[in-house]
Structure 1
Amino acid sequence: MPSRTLETWPHGAIMLDAQHTRFALWAPDAFYVSVELEDGKSIAMLPQAEGWFEAEIKCPAGTRYRYNIDGEMDVPDPASRAQALDVHGWSVVVDPLAYQWRHPNWQGRPWHEAVIYELHVGAMGGYAAVEKQLPRLAELGITAIELMPLAQFPGERNWGYDGVLPYAPQACYGPPEQLKALIDSAHEHGLAVILDVVYNHFGPDGNYLGQYAKGFFQEDVHTPWGAGIDFDRREVRNFFLDNALMWLLEYRVDGLRLDAVHAIDNPGFLTELAQRVRQQADVGRHVWLVLENELNQASLLTHDFDAQWNDDFHNVLHVLLTGETDAYYSDFAQNPTDKLARCLGEGFIYQGHTTRHGHERGEPSGHLPPSAFVAFLQNHDQIGNRALGERLHQLCSPQALKAATTLLLMSPMIPLIFMGDEVNAEQPFLFFTDHHGELAEAVREGRRNEFADFAAFKDLERREHIPDPNALLTFLQSAPGFTENTQSQFYRHLLSLRHLHIVPHLPGSVALGAQVLADGAVTARWRLGNGSVLQIDLNLGATPLDHPAPPHLLFETPATDEAHLAPFSARVALSPVGEHL
């Protein structure tokens, strides 16, 4: 791990040795700053150039502290490595070297081997409870777990996207050492760990930066969450760059998923982040960088980032599976089968095409490898952003879902599975928070107003029945069960086929195009890196098609005669090298 100095890692409390800690705070709008210790000591911080304050204090790991601004306001460390209780209370000095890694030589896994399982640590019971699920997930065929955001948030429960202290893992899930133990155990089971990080905004409760460092924000740039973050400022850029490096180097996570980067008004920041990560990671170590980006900027996937979540894949399949065309699904309502064919043949559906809002979205993506796209049928957004949190198996026929799952798990795109998908969990995944007072009321009403564009909730009275995000029951209902069943057996079988026949040959894969067979039915082909050709025929329509089965059939659901492609079916064929389907 690289050494930390005020020059290379300035933000926060950095232990210099077992008994001494350096504190550094960027507070350009403050006149006086002190470090307040829980034992009552108050130590003045020395002002430095460009708005910095610094102090070196004799205090060991575990010391509780906070900053006082101008003698008027006590605030947590914005770069706190741990909080004693919540976002408003004491920060805690953390020794980053205290945890003894059992698998220090783990180098990660190549990106093409990724089969990602997205999970919410709180809904699954905390770091230790997630650790108990690792053997089951590895046996299922998962190769990576993706943790929804862990940054300390207000209250005891939250989706994770209201975090305000990005360096501090959420305290109610367990201490930092327990998170490291989870990551260590994941590596023991051959599982990589991706962390979802939020660098586009802070949550609405517990962020004090604007009161002593107004330059952190751009008041003239607006995001859905308020003033934009000013990434033009070096201190601000370093705050997030160093956070990314902390997770990758100190916690040894294997990759980051960057939330909603279209809300970061500074493309240079993304490039610098990728370059810094590649430079700092050990030679030979596999580190994954994945984007969520509504702009579909294929150019970011050429060199700097491994992949992007492909919302287009989800959205068009959701329309075909459920018939829903409300709100953002309306962008996929016209000619959805043609759109699916474009997605399978070229990656993004929107590649400079105009959305329902009249905006052009996307860049040409057909030159990118299939592994540049993370595909999914469900994720936290697509379930949790439903008013009642229903899962896909509750919205479409079982056989249609099996066919779509076959496409997901057998295509050369990187598959992502949301917790509970693999057992058709009955529990919803709702939007939950733990706000109080006026903020709680605003979140509750805002949540209900979000669904005014959905036909089922246009009536105000219907919207009154949408679960209250702040109710404890809303959170408790979102904890999935994981009972083994025929669905998990289906996943296990498909993933075993993927790992045996497809994954070894994904490097060098290219799409050969996709054609529409009929409404709801497509055929798509890819040449894998070893020269073999993968073909998937998919029929999400209710009518059988005259479409003979190709030779070298690898899998089909349901089993049918060779001359027809049955309703709600999928077939996968893989030609030997040198032969063509």
Structure 2
Amino acid sequence: MNADPFLLAPGTRSAVPPLAPFDCFAAPSASAFSSHDDSAQDYLFGPAWLPDGRVRFRLWAPDAAEQGQAVRVEIAGLGPVPMACGPNGWFEAVVPGCAGARYWFRLDDGSTVPDPASRWQADDVHGPSIVPARDAATAFAWTCPEWRGRPWHEAILYEMHVGLCGGYAGAARELPRLAALGFTAVELMPVAEFPGTRNWGYDGVLPFAPESGYGTPDELRALVDRAHQLGMMVLLDVVYNHFGPEGNYLHRYASAFFRADCQTPWGPAIDFRRPQVRRFFTENARYWLEQFRFDGLRLDAVHAIEDEGWLAALPGELRAALANGDGAHRHVHLVLENDNNDAALLAAGYDAQWNDDAHHALHVLLTGEDDGYYRDYSAAPATARSGHSDHGGHGDNAAAVRGVPALRHLARVLGEGFAYQGERSAFRSAAQPAVADGVRRGQPSAHLPPTAFVCFLQNHDQTGNRALGERLAQLAGRDVLRAAIALQLLCPQVPLVFMGEETGSTQPFLYFTSHPPELARAVRDGRRREFAATAAFRDDARAAAIPDPNDPATFEASRPRFDDDGEWTPYYRELLAVRRRELLHRLAGCQSAGVDVLGPAALCARWRLMDGVELSLWLNLGNEAVPCTRPCHDRSTALHESCAGAAAALSAGLLPQRCCVATVCELAAARAR
């Protein structure tokens, strides 16, 4: 909390025009807070420019309204401006145009708070908010105004942490390299304003304000524009399930934002039952798509959003809002992270979900790890409610039994999308012993297209939530890793590569923050206690060696090297060229044609592409060659082999160990057409 805002140097005069006496302080009518406020660009939250050149400030402060308290907006150069209290807990004031002015709200107890819908925070989360320029998005010198994006099946995603790249300008400088490798989209980890300058982004507290430590809002627009110049989409990771622990003032004047009866891992759940709360986050999603021209959003951990009615309605509302003007005919993509494997949401307008099942099954196969949630993938698949006994066998039963549990989970992932489609989760059941029948996870997903699933071998969570942030290049053998990468990049599910994977980086990706001292100690000690519960860190000395998230050295150690002189960059370039040349134009409408388990760690997955050609991926992560039970008898072409000679061996009926081979078969029906 700051006590004395906006102290100007002696003799300094504000450039903001003086306020006319009693300028527009009448209580607003109920219609002023309707969902169609065209006079203020249709945004209820945040500063809005009116057609006559004035700026409207609004704050939803139901606690203050209920208690009869006064709220003022304090604007640099104007002083305190009283806000009129309107219906449903809204406060409003309208003032002359004041682009660039710093402001915040002063509550009745004398405390000051930033605008929860601030468009920019130059002085971090506790400082004043800044009024944006009028028509900031349209005034920006976009070089690709006709850009409409790419269809979802063309997405080849690259997950990037902007701060580790040197901010918005530094991230923009990486884009030509990524485009040359073959990526068609980048996905930015969250950039909403968080405390300090080092953070993953999931501790954001001002969802509309681009992180000031990375640069200005226009520098973020320049990053998006540069990607569009290169033919790349840009998706943004957004966090709607919680606010961070530092700098969130909502509880002081809008406690109704949160539920008293429902907790999440981050504290009280956000109350999506309230229309104002739903509107706040719907406007935020629209803001990023409209004002920064992002091509899509990835919604973080939606399983922690209690009212999924809002989630189901969001895609339609966003696409309707963007259907006219500059948004007409745009490809807008919405992606979920959802531990619940809720297939119904994917049928409600979302393009895809991050497929944790694919990652977990592959990780167990590559590393042998079975702690924590990996336990669900190292054990035999459980029974679903539908009565199906084992979800691993897509070929003959004897072959299915030969596959190790993780391989059978992977077989279902490749054939049907989710591994868990209503089966009991041993890991979650152990964590919730009060659930009598155990915790069941997921819904049937075989009806969804393969492109409804984002497939990754690593991401920020799966790497950074390890105590030491190790990457797969350190955890798995070279040959099996090459095979897994080939499977990931050539299967019809949408691939996502985490920054550094493409160069085989061995720098860790660690959890890092820049919290104030007391919170920093709590986070450091809590993280070490959490890992002390695992066998590897029960020893006090080992637990003490876990890097301190708040130490700047932890952040610096997480910067990947982007050297292109190793073997991994050419390998990624080769695989992405195959995907772009042979597969992208065939993926719309593709369907699974089945999965055969060939051995303990070997399978063949097949898909019928849109032109009738059949794509087959032959994978063997084991240490022994296995015979091929279903060779393609039609015209077949090898697209890729992860190790030399594997395609020739496959033609002879033997799939070598630790390899992946991709083939396409021009079936007789396709030739007839």
**Smaller-chain TM-score bracket:** over 0.9
**Alignment root-mean-square deviation, CA:** 1.6
Deviation for aligned residue 1:85: 1.3
8 Å contact 1:327–1:453 — kept in the other structure? no
Decide which of 519, 535, 539 is 1:439's aligned counterpart: 519
Deviation for aligned residue 1:18: 8.6
Greater CA drift, 32-41 or 374-383: 32-41
Q: Distance in 2 between matches of 1:455 and 1:376?
A: 27
Deviations 1:488-544 (A, max 9, x none): 111111111111111101011011111211111111101011111000010000111
Q: Distance in 1 between matches of 2:371 and 2:339?
A: 18
Deviations 1:282-304 (A, max 9, x none): 33210000000000001111131
Does 2:493 match 1:452?
Answer: no
**Structure 2 residues not aligned, in runs of 5+:** 1-35, 380-404, 430-438
Does 2:388 match 1:347?
Answer: no
Deviations 1:310-333 (A, max 9, x none): 000000000000000111111111
Q: Distance in 2 between matches of 1:180 and 1:6?
A: 22
Greater CA drift, 6-15 or 163-172: 6-15
Residue 373 of structure 2 is matched in structure 1 by: 328
Q: Distance in 1 between matches of 2:446 and 2:145?
A: 39
Residue 82 of structure 1 is matched in structure 2 by: 120
Residue 309 of structure 1 is matched in structure 2 by: 354
Q: Distance in 2 between matches of 1:307 and 1:89?
A: 37
SS of alignment partner, residue 552 of structure 1: strand
Does 2:625 match 1:544?
Answer: yes
Q: Distance in 2 between matches of 1:448 and 1:425?
A: 25
Q: Distance in 1 between matches of 2:139 and 2:39?
A: 19
Residue 22 of structure 2 is matched in structure 1 by: none
Deviation for aligned residue 1:460: 3.0
Does 2:18 match 1:12?
Answer: no
Residue 290 of structure 1 is matched in structure 2 by: 335
Q: Distance in 2 between matches of 1:514 and 1:445?
A: 46
Deviation for aligned residue 1:108: 0.5
AA of the residue aligned to 2:61: A
Aligned residues: 580
Deviation for aligned residue 1:4: 5.1
Distance 1:377 1:33, change over 3 A: same
Q: Distance in 2 between matches of 1:174 and 1:413?
A: 34
Deviation for aligned residue 1:264: 0.3
Does 2:129 match 1:91?
Answer: yes
8 Å contact 2:44–2:58 — kept in the other structure? yes
Distance 1:154 1:34, change over 3 A: same
Decide which of 104, 112, 115 is 1:66's aligned counterpart: 104
Residue 585 of structure 2 is matched in structure 1 by: 504
Residue 575 of structure 1 is matched in structure 2 by: 665
Match runs of 1:25-424 below 5 Å: 25-30=59-64, 31-39=69-77, 41-95=79-133, 96=136, 97-281=138-322, 282-334=327-379, 335-356=405-426, 357-358=428-429, 359-424=439-504
Deviation for aligned residue 1:446: 1.4
8 Å contact 2:40–2:51 — kept in the other structure? no
Q: Distance in 2 between matches of 1:17 and 1:437?
A: 46
Q: Distance in 1 between matches of 2:141 and 2:100?
A: 17
Deviation for aligned residue 1:61: 1.6
8 Å contact 1:118–1:145 — kept in the other structure? yes
Q: Distance in 2 between matches of 1:103 and 1:340?
A: 41
Residue 21 of structure 2 is matched in structure 1 by: none
8 Å contact 1:540–1:569 — kept in the other structure? yes
8 Å contact 1:534–1:573 — kept in the other structure? yes
TM-score by length of 1: 0.97
Deviations 1:137-194 (A, max 9, x none): 1110000000000010011110100000000000010000000011011100000000
Greater CA drift, 535-544 or 34-43: 34-43
SS of alignment partner, residue 511 of structure 1: strand
AA of the residue aligned to 1:343: V
Q: Distance in 2 between matches of 1:17 and 1:442?
A: 48
Deviation for aligned residue 1:120: 0.3
Q: Distance in 2 between matches of 1:87 and 1:297?
A: 34
Residue 32 of structure 2 is matched in structure 1 by: none
Q: Distance in 2 between matches of 1:483 and 1:321?
A: 25
8 Å contact 2:611–2:670 — kept in the other structure? no
Q: Distance in 2 between matches of 1:98 and 1:510?
A: 44
**Structure 1 residues not aligned, in runs of 5+:** none
Deviation for aligned residue 1:344: 0.7
Residue 382 of structure 2 is matched in structure 1 by: none
AA of the residue aligned to 1:575: C
AA of the residue aligned to 1:399: D
AA of the residue aligned to 1:14: A
Q: Distance in 1 between matches of 2:175 and 2:262?
A: 42
Deviations 1:75-126 (A, max 9, x none): 0000000002100001001122331211111000000000000000001110
SS of alignment partner, residue 329 of structure 2: coil
TM-score by length of 2: 0.84
8 Å contact 2:120–2:212 — kept in the other structure? yes
Q: Distance in 1 between matches of 2:144 and 2:90?
A: 38
Deviations 1:456-493 (A, max 9, x none): 11323311110000000000111111111321111111
Q: Distance in 2 between matches of 1:480 and 1:60?
A: 42
SS of alignment partner, residue 29 of structure 1: helix
8 Å contact 2:40–2:49 — kept in the other structure? no
Decide which of 468, 474, 488 is 2:548's aligned counterpart: 468
Larger CA Rg, structure 1 vs 2: 2
Q: Distance in 2 between matches of 1:48 and 1:460?
A: 57
Q: Distance in 1 between matches of 2:610 and 2:147?
A: 26
Deviation for aligned residue 1:566: 1.3
Q: Distance in 1 between matches of 2:315 and 2:538?
A: 43
SS of alignment partner, residue 275 of structure 1: helix
SS of alignment partner, residue 666 of structure 2: coil
8 Å contact 1:532–1:578 — kept in the other structure? no
AA of the residue aligned to 2:470: E
Deviations 1:318-362 (A, max 9, x none): 000000011111111121111111111111001001112321000
AA of the residue aligned to 1:45: M
Distance 1:577 1:285, change over 3 A: farther
AA of the residue aligned to 1:341: A
Deviation for aligned residue 1:19: 5.0
8 Å contact 2:598–2:627 — kept in the other structure? no
